[in-house]
Structure 1
Amino acid sequence: MGYWAKLKSSNWAFPTAVLSLYGFFANCRIAEPFLAPYLIGPYKNISEEVVTNYLFPIWTYSYLAFLFPVFLLTDFLRYKPLIILQGLFLVSNYVLLCFAPGLLAMVFLEITYAVATATEVAYFSYIYSVIPLENYQKATGYLRSAALFGYTFGAGLGQVLVSSAGLDYFYINAMTLGVVSVAFLTSFWLPMPQRSLFFKGRTTAVLDRQSQQEVPGRTDRPDETAAGAVDASSGKQKMERNDNAGCCSRKNVLSAGHLLWKSFRESYSSRHLIYWSLWWALATAGYTQIINYIQLMWDHIEPSATSSVYNGGVEAACSLVGAAAAFSVGYIKVNWSVWGELALGLFSAAGAGAVFLIVLTSNIWACYAGYALFKSCYMLLITITTFQIAANLSMECYALTFGINTFVALCLQTIMTLIFVDGATLGLDIVTQFFIYGIYHAVISVLFLIRGTYTACTKRSTTEPPDSLQKENMVEVIYEEPF
């Protein structure tokens, strides 16, 4: 009891611990690597063509529709309600998977899953509104690790249950329903933040400035997570009520819009940042498209109805390999301002080659290897891109830039889905789709090889390292399912 009270009184350990628990259980989706075999199999009995050309595109369109409104709503409602909403929709998804028959129910499932995916921004943004600045690095590392470990553990456990215990896919989904229900209940323990990035009332901003001046590194905290704030709680609560009363005022909305525009201009004022953001958007669009449809490619090469399925084991192994590749970035002593764009081109070329291997092989293990290589290259490069962008931006610009880059990536992904995947247009088969994705990544690699070669030749190797290198050893493991 003493340890629990001490944890709750901490100004950062308690919210970080609770959110890490939530991240673990929310990502420990045991059945996710086996979604395509479950939909195609006897329980749902949906054809591969319908899943590929009709059902899965619904998630992409819905995700695009929800992402930007949810991004603004997340900040406006101060994160916690959106985290609770994500937990609720994850529960509803597996209720539908387990108990709802028919194609219409699966259409509704894709829409609700799009909401759950869009609200992931709240998971990674929440912690910055409730902990001091000096704890950002530790907290972010814990959250990334919790999400990664949850996904890896869930995928590995699913593989063991399917291969060794011979457990039916239905029971795997039922177990996942129980796990995400724990995540949903855990979300209620999170302290409610008292500030947001953009929708700040006047009193909240004053409190922020006072706390920064009087106690460096300290931020306003909820009463239940900051025992030291009890003496001043009455006055702060009164000011907070006044702040909440005016948060929806026209003046505050206009102020938020002005701050968003100012942050946008700052984020894309540098040509260097624009190039990194361009790679982010282009590569993430192709990456998300591939991880969304890879299970169908595996099922095409070796049908799950007649063969053993190792999707869970492959996903778990890929996550660990990709995480190791991303983690290694922090120990590579490279002047990324000179060689970074060339690295984007080289590793994008390796990723394109991996996609072509997936397309051209008829051996499932070669296909698995190609997927592992592709995912590792992406995780390595997205880590470099992340800290290159974040190192040069304030927190407001950091969040906005990542949100805009993800939105642009989703727009590109939606265009690809609409043209190549949707049955109402070309409705291409899965092999042809992946061949096009290989060409797409090859084009990205060529563009950045040209740009990177030009940058490396024009910049002197003796140039003073930029400020971003100071954060080189602060890179966390980046793990992204569809944001």
Structure 2
Amino acid sequence: MGFFANCRVAEPFLTPYLIGPHKNISEEVVTNYLFPIWTYSYLVLLFPVFLLTDFLRHKPLIVVQGLFLVTNYVLLSFAPGLPAMILLQVNYAVVTSTEVAYFSYIYSVIPVENYQRATGYLRSAMLAGYTIGASLGQVLVSLAGLDYFYINTFTLGIVSTAFLISFWLPMPQRSLFFKGEKAAAQVLQPQQEEPEEPVVEKDEAGSGKEKMEHNGSAGWCSRENVATAGYLLWQNFRESYSSRTLVCWSLWWALATAGYVQIFNYIQLMWDHIEPSATSSIYNGGVEAACSLVGAAAAFSVGHIKVTWAVWGELALGMFSAIATGAVFLMALTSSIWACYAGYVIFKSCYMFLITITTFQIASNLSSECYALTFGINTFVALSLQTIITFVVVDEAVLGLDIVTQFIIYGSYYAIISVLFLIRGTFTACKNQRKPEHPETTEKESSVEVIFAEQSFEKAQQHNKAAITSTLKFMS
């Protein structure tokens, strides 16, 4: 399903389609009014969908995602007018918010020992779908000269396949937080008394039937189950954010992802501003395919660079964030479409490289039960920051800035991130490399530092493959 759901041939050409003759919406309306609706809707839906995903045990939400993905391209292909495109943004917010169900589904139906291999298969299928979809879209536009309308209908057929496949997925038998009444009672009351004997009642015909009496309401909505979910959420939250180092990594995750998603959403408008699609050939699909491959290579390279990321990782965040800052300013200030394309490839590669480091640094210091909640909270914080940026910078109700000024602000935003983490990274590196004050303890402490560094590296390597592939979801 992941391959077909991400093989969206028309996605790299969304903006030219909206501002072209098919929808005939102005660039200003798309920028300052239409796209912000998706951001606001996504923020409203994300956290409730996260809880509902676990409560319903994933599969129903995956089916809903497939249904709304199909509806998304039905609206794009056949619904005219601005009101239909407003509905499209809300519809797409449902699609993106339910992605959490797909990403976490696989871990609820397979044994723990298969997590790493399954993650590799899952992300590989998604990456292959996105890359092939973007490449195919470019071929259909540049070589076959196919109209955007037909590309959207072609994509509709592909995502419909994903929707049909979703019905054949097996239903998970367990959830992470909503564990059922019996398990809930065991979590909340480990020293539980002996279970009550069944109560036998006679019906009118005189036959006996057994009923097990429970405290509170039965099933998934029981008081014990809801209390257990809240208890487990709180315990996982405390474990995830009890370390200053983890908070620091999570802070970069949230800050950088907010900026990345904002640039990803509006880059097509920047390309159209530099070289309007109505007057020239566009290569959006080819650029997105190149970004997928280069970004994947950058992320994969993390596993083969022998660096103690616990020591040098924060400094790497600052340095590569500075490179990303330069790339964003290049996109904002250049008048060459090819320079803008190059800046986008550099920016996206830097982000993929850094989010990989961040992911496995967080994962290597957490138990597996905390992954979903931690990454979910980090994503929610990132989306909240993005919503604030959208409201202040993009929304026509506040500043409603033009696309060039927006990208200058995004570059300044990334410059602040790079400065913060360059300072923090320099401090961390100096602290870890500082020599002991007492000469007689130098050899002993150095040995301890070497052993600790080796252990940290080995632990990070254990989580590396799964973490690398998990970052590829941001490319879709």
For the criterion TM > 0.5, the same-fold answer is yes
Of residues 360, 364, 370 in structure 2, which corresponds to 1:387?
360
Q: What's the offset of the Cα at 1:469? A: 3.6
Contact 2:254 2:382 in 1 (8 A): yes
Q: What's the offset of the Cα at 1:357? A: 0.6
Contact 1:392 1:468 in 2 (8 A): no
Of residues 25, 29, 37 in structure 2, which corresponds to 1:46?
25
Q: Flag the 1:130–1:245 CA change in 2: closer, same or farther, 3 A.
A: farther
Match of 1:5 in 2: none
Match of 2:147 in 1: 168
**Letter of the structure 2 residue corresponding to residue 44 of structure 1:** K
Of residues 339, 345, 356 in structure 1, which corresponds to 2:329?
356
Match of 1:458 in 2: 431
In structure 2, C-alpha distance between the alignment counterparts of 1:480 and 1:23, rounded to whole Å: 10
CA deviations on 1:216-242 (whole Å, 9 max, x unpaired) are xxxxxxxxxxxxxxxxxxxxxx99xx9
What SS is found at the alignment partner of 1:459? helix
In structure 1, C-alpha distance between the alignment counterparts of 2:115 and 2:147, rounded to whole Å: 42
CA deviations on 1:268-304 (whole Å, 9 max, x unpaired) are 0000100000000000000000000000000000000
Match of 2:242 in 1: 269
Match of 1:7 in 2: none
Who wins on radius of gyration, i.e. which is larger? 2
Q: Does 1:480 align with 2:460?
A: no
CA deviations on 1:113-164 (whole Å, 9 max, x unpaired) are 0010001111110111110111000000111111111000000000000000
In structure 2, C-alpha distance between the alignment counterparts of 1:429 and 1:190, rounded to whole Å: 45
In structure 2, C-alpha distance between the alignment counterparts of 1:266 and 1:407, rounded to whole Å: 18
Of residues 439, 448, 460 in structure 2, which corresponds to 1:471?
460
Q: What's the offset of the Cα at 1:247? A: 1.1
Of residues 209, 216, 228 in structure 2, which corresponds to 1:255?
228
Q: What's the offset of the Cα at 1:468? A: 5.8
In structure 2, C-alpha distance between the alignment counterparts of 1:79 and 1:392, rounded to whole Å: 26
Contact 1:148 1:479 in 2 (8 A): yes
The number of equivalent residue pairs is 431
In structure 1, C-alpha distance between the alignment counterparts of 2:109 and 2:323, rounded to whole Å: 40
Match of 2:192 in 1: none
CA deviations on 1:154-204 (whole Å, 9 max, x unpaired) are 000000000000000000000000000000000111100000000112545
Q: Flag the 1:31–1:49 CA change in 2: closer, same or farther, 3 A.
A: same
CA deviations on 1:406-432 (whole Å, 9 max, x unpaired) are 000000000000000001110000000
In structure 2, C-alpha distance between the alignment counterparts of 1:331 and 1:125, rounded to whole Å: 27
Of residues 48, 71, 75 in structure 1, which corresponds to 2:54?
75
Q: Does 1:179 align with 2:158?
A: yes
**TM-score, normalisation: structure 1:** 0.86
Q: What's the offset of the Cα at 1:481? A: 3.5
Q: Structure 1: which 5+ runs fail to align?
A: 1-21, 209-237
Contact 2:292 2:475 in 1 (8 A): no
In structure 1, C-alpha distance between the alignment counterparts of 2:461 and 2:103, rounded to whole Å: 20
Of residues 113, 117, 121 in structure 2, which corresponds to 1:142?
121
In structure 2, C-alpha distance between the alignment counterparts of 1:173 and 1:110, rounded to whole Å: 16
The farther-off stretch of 89-98 and 248-257 is: 248-257
Match of 1:429 in 2: 402
Aligned alpha-carbon RMSD (Å): 2.0
**Letter of the structure 1 residue corresponding to residue 300 of structure 2:** F
Q: Does 1:324 align with 2:297?
A: yes
In structure 1, C-alpha distance between the alignment counterparts of 2:460 and 2:321, rounded to whole Å: 24
Q: What's the offset of the Cα at 1:246? A: 1.9
Contact 2:49 2:98 in 1 (8 A): yes
Alignment of 1:346-425 (within 5 A): 346-425=319-398
Q: What's the offset of the Cα at 1:383? A: 0.5
**Letter of the structure 2 residue corresponding to residue 327 of structure 1:** F
Contact 1:281 1:406 in 2 (8 A): yes
Q: What's the offset of the Cα at 1:460? A: 3.4
**Letter of the structure 2 residue corresponding to residue 440 of structure 1:** Y
Q: Flag the 1:467–1:77 CA change in 2: closer, same or farther, 3 A.
A: farther
**Letter of the structure 2 residue corresponding to residue 480 of structure 1:** K
**Letter of the structure 1 residue corresponding to residue 261 of structure 2:** T
In structure 2, C-alpha distance between the alignment counterparts of 1:75 and 1:96, rounded to whole Å: 29
Q: Where has structure 1 moved over 3 Å in runs of 4 or more?
A: 202-208, 466-469, 480-483
Alignment of 1:52-201 (within 5 A): 52-201=31-180
**Letter of the structure 2 residue corresponding to residue 481 of structure 1:** F
Query: Identity percentage over the alignment?
Result: 76
Q: Structure 2: which 5+ runs fail to align?
A: 188-210, 435-445
Match of 1:23 in 2: 2
Match of 1:17 in 2: none
In structure 1, C-alpha distance between the alignment counterparts of 2:218 and 2:340, rounded to whole Å: 57
In structure 2, C-alpha distance between the alignment counterparts of 1:64 and 1:482, rounded to whole Å: 19
Contact 2:12 2:285 in 1 (8 A): yes
Q: Flag the 1:191–1:39 CA change in 2: closer, same or farther, 3 A.
A: same
CA deviations on 1:75-124 (whole Å, 9 max, x unpaired) are 11000111111000000000000000000000000001001000111111
What SS is found at the alignment partner of 1:247? helix
**Letter of the structure 1 residue corresponding to residue 88 of structure 2:** L
Contact 1:288 1:482 in 2 (8 A): no
Q: What's the offset of the Cα at 1:395? A: 2.1
Contact 1:91 1:180 in 2 (8 A): yes
Q: Flag the 1:116–1:356 CA change in 2: closer, same or farther, 3 A.
A: same
**TM-score, normalisation: structure 2:** 0.88
Contact 1:420 1:427 in 2 (8 A): yes
Contact 1:280 1:385 in 2 (8 A): yes
